[in-house]
Every structure is written in C-alpha cells, then in structure tokens.
Amino acid sequence: MPIRFLDAGESCLVAELGDRIDIALNLQVRALGLAVERAWLAGVQEAVPTYRSLAIYYDPLVIGRDALKNQVQSLRDSLGDEGEKAPKIMEIPTVYGGEHGPDLDFVAGHTGFSQDEVIRLHTEPLYHVYMLGFMAGFAYLGGLPERLSVPRLATPRLKVPAGSVGIAGTQTGVYPLESPGGWRIIGRTHLRLFDASDQVPTPILPGDKVRFVRIEKREYQKGASGSP
Amino acid sequence: MEALEVVRPGLLSTVQDRGRVGYQKYGVPTSGAMDHTAFRAANLLVDNEESAAALEATGEGPALRALTDLVVAIVGADMEPHLNGRPIESGAAMGVRRGQLLELGRARQGLRAYLAIAGGIDVPVLLGSRSTCLPAAFGGFHGRALRTGDCLPVGVTGTRPLEITGRRLPAGWWGAPHEVLTLRVILGPQEDRFTPEGIETFLTGTYRLAPEMDRMGVRLQGPPIAHRSGADIISDSIPWGAIQVPADGQPIVLLADRQTTGGYTKIGVILREDTYRLAQATPGQIVRFCRASVQEAHAAWRAYEAKCQALLQSWQRWGDRRSYALRLGGRSYRVGVQEGKGMYRVAIEERVEGEPKKGE
C-alpha cells in the first residue's frame, strides 16, 4: 500500500498510514517503526510511532529525502500481515478514591454510577497502548467505556502527583511524573512509569495491553515504600 | 573534578549538550541547547568535542567561582561578563585562574549565553545525553537548574591553554536578532488543514513574541490564522521548530523541551538554523515567516554546516614553524613558535648547550 509521505521540516519525514484511530492501523505503524529501526539506515536518527503515522527523523546531509521515502516504502511493502500476536499485558495496581483519587466522587456523580461501579467499569477493559508521548512515559490508552466519559477540570491542578490515574473525555491514563493536569483523578499507582537510568525508560510500550487492577490502600503503601 | 562553584545561579542556568536522540518514542523530549549556533561555537572555541556539555544561561547569567584553572568561552547573548570585577570579552577562549570569580549579568542583547569549559561539564550521561530535561526533571545537574552552592564537575581535557587562548569568533559570526526576525518555514505537515487565506495570513502577517516563553516553546501574537475545519488532529510527533496553531489561530513554536506528541494542527516547521535565532529573541520581538522548500532548506543546512566547519579549520590552520632561542636562568632552549589565526602555539623543542647561534 502506498504511504502518504509528509514533510515535517527539513529533517523529519512523516509516513502516514491512515487517518483514523484504529488498533489494526496502529499495529501497522508500530511494525513499520520496528522495521525502520532494524534496517539501521545511515542518516536515520529515530522513528517515533504515533496513532496512525510514523515520524522518521533524519540527517539530510547523510540521506536524501527521496532515497529515504523509497527505503521506507520498500520496508512497508515487505511487511507481512501484522495481526495482534499475543501482546504483553501490563497490570497497573491502582488504589481508587480517597486521597489518591480525589475525583472518584465527581465521576460517580457525573455518570450516575456508584463509586464501586465506576471502579469495576474502569478495571474491566484491556486497554490498548497506541503510543507514548506528551510527557516522558505517558501511554495513550484506548478502550475507556464511553459511560465513564467525563469533562476535564475547568481549572487544571497545578500539581498532580506521579502515578495518578485519570479520566478526561473518552481517554484514561496514568501521569508518569508530577505535573500540572486537568484530568479527573480517580486513583493512583505505585508503579514507576518512567526511569531515566534505564535504556528502555518505560515499562509500557506501544502495542502492549494494560489492565487496571484494584488494590487496597495498604497494598499501595507497601508498593510505594518499596518493600516486597 | 569539581571545577566551578555556583555563587549566584542566575535566572535559569542549565547544563545542555546537543540533545537527546532516540527516546522520543518513549515520550522523552530531546532537550539540548536552544541556540546550537552559539553553543557549538563556544565548544569549538575551547577545543571541546561537539558533544560536550556547556552551561546555558537565560536572561540573567550566573556568578561562578573557579575551583581550578580553566579555559572557558562565552558565546551568545551579551551578559556583560566580568572576571574578578573586570570586563572580559565574549566570543573568545580565555584562561580563568583558580579562585577567580566569573560573573554574567543581565542579557543586554539576546536571551541565552553559553559558557563552554575546556573538557566539558562532566555530569552523568542519561539516555544518551548530558542535557537537563526540565519537564521530566532528569539529566544535566540533578535534573534541575543550578542553585547557589552547586559545584559543577568538568571533564579531563587534553587542551593546553596556550594552544587556544586567543581564539576568537570572527566579527559578525554570531548576532542577536534584528528588529524584525524573519524565520524560514517549510509548510506542513498539516498545511492542508488551513484555508488559503489562513496560509496567506501566516506568510504575510507580523507576529509578536508573547511573554509566555520557555525552553518548551514560545507563543506568538498576531493576525489569527484560519483553519478549514477545526484545530484538532489525531495526535502525532512534534519536531523541533514546529508551529502549532490551536483554535484561537495564534501560533505556538515548539522547541527543545517540547512535548513529543500533540493534537494541534501544525502549519509548518521552522528551519533549524532559524530556530536558534528565535531562541535569542525576547518578548515583543517582531517575527515574520517566509516559505522555503525542502530543497532550499537542505541547501541552507549544508551551507550552515560548512560555516561551522570553516570556523574550526580557521583556528587549526597554522603557519610555518619558526625557531627562537630562549635564555632562562643561564640555560638556552630552542623554542618552536607557530602562528595560527589569532593565536600562537609555543613548544620547547630542545635544550641547547652553549650560546645560541646568531640569527636565531
């Protein structure tokens, strides 16, 4: 299939494979990203997979843009059918509500469910990791039940603690770092989602599946303090 | 080796290098020096590898006490540098003695100055770089801007001060932005999401730098750029220099510490060399955009690289070696002197017995 190539400046070529959010399409992007990395093309610095496109950063003094296009197209042509093959499943132990999930009450009120039902609905799906981005270690997850859709905060919080689990619109996700944020925070995990001292600095990768697992506060405290 | 103690940290002084390549797929910003032109020249002046880390001072520079003898160079914004209370030159390599106080003041022209130290600032390499990543609080000096009392380590250097002090940037090699800063832009990747009038507005309008600016990006104010159908896209990668246009039509330029992905339409991407100029602009700066093709951008990149390479070569070009006799405490030495551009290389060649011959 021909790729739609777009220039994003003088040293970034975007290979767009489609124009929608779709797991099969996203897996093709991921496969093309891995193929580009494994080809070790001279002058290619990095490949960043997103929902439906791959951004390829290159040094134009080493590889020309047309040569790069041809290489990427032929890598694409030689890819097989990239179905979902036994993805890695990451469990995210999460303590819901209370001090760790100050907006659980709001989400329950807004959606008309009880707090327990909100937690059950949130822990039910196997979420697809479309991509990482926005901030270090942040995973864009797909699969939040529409019934849990809630508006963002009118005024974002100045500080959301690392590990906070939030909902905004039709998205859910975990803040890997302390940061400002406008999502509704329903829980928190002690999992460390970004570690700069590790060459692969995040445990969740594109193409993985994620499940939230409800834990009790004392389990969270045990995990957070690092004891087994 | 601890080499510099922070006496006064300045407004925002961070350790930066060429940036972090290969980790955007994990959401990690590239970081790195905002003005590579000045950063690179500073490193070249003190004979560092181009990957060496330097100090980026913003708005108002730091005061630093030398804990050992150093060779340094300052390039970029004019922060009226002083050494032990005496004004010193920017854009030149110079020796600093142990105990001396190096002070950078408020930027009079430009915004960011780079202090390179021979040997490079020797903070740990994290994810392939020594750059400070402020949004994720890692890298550089403990993941943060410098504070009073911090001691910066410097790497081992093979550079002998004699060989490089006196190196000087040619006049006009680096300059702060003019009254109107024209930035060359490659349109896309989402230029088709704007109306023809919107593109016209963008390419003919005059924009002003808003006060909201940091290492992540700068906001511009001016005639609103019209979208065809909304400002949102399916989130994708954001290159250095990308110009996002949210629904209000006011452009935002994303730079070193930018988020790696985002969901606003990008009307274009500024040429790298021009983003370095933008990094020296202060609020109120007038900015215009002019369209460039990818081919033109690549030609400009080649010319820019050649300019940087020529700089290094100009210092490495040495004249013929001439021999001189030197008498010290009753002994004679033969000393070789080579003249390069703006500097000398002096080496004792041998000890000579007896009186030197005439004519030497």
Chain segment A87-116, per-residue pLDDT in tens:
899 999 999 999 999 999 999 999 999 999
Predicted confidence (pLDDT) at residue B131 exceeds the cutoff of 90: yes
Using CA atoms of A30, A34, A36, A42 in order, give the dihedral in degrees to the nearest 10.
140
Whole-number pLDDT of residue B332: 82
Which of the two residues, B116 and A156, has the higher pLDDT score?
Answer: B116
In terms of residues, how long is chain A? 228
Separation of alpha carbons B57 and B329, rounded Å: 46
Mean pLDDT calculated for residue range B293-305: 97
In a mutational test of the A interface, the residue from B24, B184, B237 whose CB has the highest number of chain A CBs within 10 Å is: B237
Q: Is the pLDDT confidence value at B317 over 80?
A: no
Chain A residues inside the 8 Å CB shell of B241: 9
Closest partner residue to A177 (CB to CB) among B26, B136, B272 is B136
pLDDT value, residue A173: 95
Helix (H) / strand (E) element for B83: namely strand B82-83
Q: How far is CA B91 from CA A126, B71, B106, in A?
A: 58, 13, 17
Inform me whether the pLDDT recorded for B343 exceeds 80.
Answer: no
**Judging by beta carbons within 10 Å of its beta carbon (0-12, 13-18, 19+), is residue B32 exposed, middle or buried?**
buried
Report the distance separating Cα B204 and Cα A201, nearest Å.
Answer: 43
Predicted confidence band of residue B358 (pLDDT cuts 50, 70, 90):
very low
In tens, the pLDDT along A58-77 reads: 999 999 999 999 999 999 99
Contacts of A60-67 with C-beta under 8 Å, sequence gap 24+, read A60/A10, A60/A11, A60/B297, A60/B298, A60/B301, A61/B298, A61/B301, A61/B302, A61/B305, A65/A7, A65/A13, A65/B294, A65/B298
Is A84 in contact with A27 (CB distance < 8 Å)?
Answer: yes
Distance of CA A69 to the CA centre of its chain: 27
Distances (CA, A) of B71 to B93, B157, B323, B341: 7, 10, 27, 18
Confidence of residue B345 (pLDDT cuts 50, 70, 90): low
What is the pLDDT, as a whole number, of residue B325? 82
| Contact: A55, B269; criterion CB under 8 Å | no
Residue B194 contacts residue B209 (beta carbons within 8 Å)? no
CB B244 within 8 A of CB B231: no
Q: Is B134 on the interface with A (CB under 8 A)?
A: no
pLDDT surpasses 60 at B342 = no
Closest CA–CA distance from residue B161 to any residue of chain A (Å): 34
Q: Which residues of chain B make contact with A199, given a CB cutoff of 8 A?
A: 127
Would you state the pLDDT for residue B7?
98
Phi-psi domain of B163 (left: phi exceeds 0; alpha: psi -120 through 50; beta: other) = alpha
At residue A80, the pLDDT reads 77
The pTM (predicted TM-score) of the whole model is: 0.89
Q: Angle formed by the axes of helices B294-316 and B36-45, to 10°?
A: 20
Q: How far apart are CA A184 and CA A52, in angstroms?
A: 27
Q: What's the pLDDT score for residue A228?
A: 46
B42: confidence class by pLDDT, cuts 50, 70, 90: very high
Q: Which residue in A7, A53, A196 is closest to B136 by CB distance?
A: A196
B236 contacts in chain A (CB < 8 Å): 14, 50-53, 55
Q: What is the mean pLDDT of chain B?
A: 91
**Which region among A21-30, A198-207, B305-314 has the lowest average model confidence (pLDDT)?**
B305-314
- Hey, are the CB atoms on B270 and A9 less than 8 Å from each other? yes
Q: Over 60: is that where the pLDDT of B161 sits?
A: no
For residue A119, the SS3 value is helix
Q: Which of B26, B29, B139 sits opposite A132 (nearest CB)?
A: B26
Q: Which residues of A touch B301 (CB under 8 A)?
A: 10-11, 60-61
Q: What is the mean pLDDT of chain A?
A: 93
Q: Which chain B residue has its CA at the smallest distance from A6's CA? A: B189
What was the pLDDT predicted at B340?
Answer: 60
Under an 8 A CB cutoff, do A14 and B240 touch?
no
pLDDT of residue B162: 60
* pLDDT tens-digit series, residues B172-203: 888 888 899 999 999 999 999 999 999 999 99
B chain contacts of residue A32, beta-carbon cutoff 8 Å: none
Distance, CA of B280 to CA of B175 (rounded, Å): 9
Which position has the token pair 């750059």?
B131
Tokens 């202060």 appear where?
B282
Q: Give me the pLDDT at residue B359, please.
A: 44
**B140 in reach of chain A (CB within 8 A):** no
Q: Looking at residues B72-92, what average pLDDT do you find?
A: 96
- Residue ranges of B 230-269 with Cβ closer than 8 A to chain A: 234-237, 239-242, 259-262, 266, 268-269
Contacts of B304 in chain A (CB under 8 A): none
Higher-scoring residue by pLDDT: A179, B243: B243
Residue with tokens 């949004």: B135
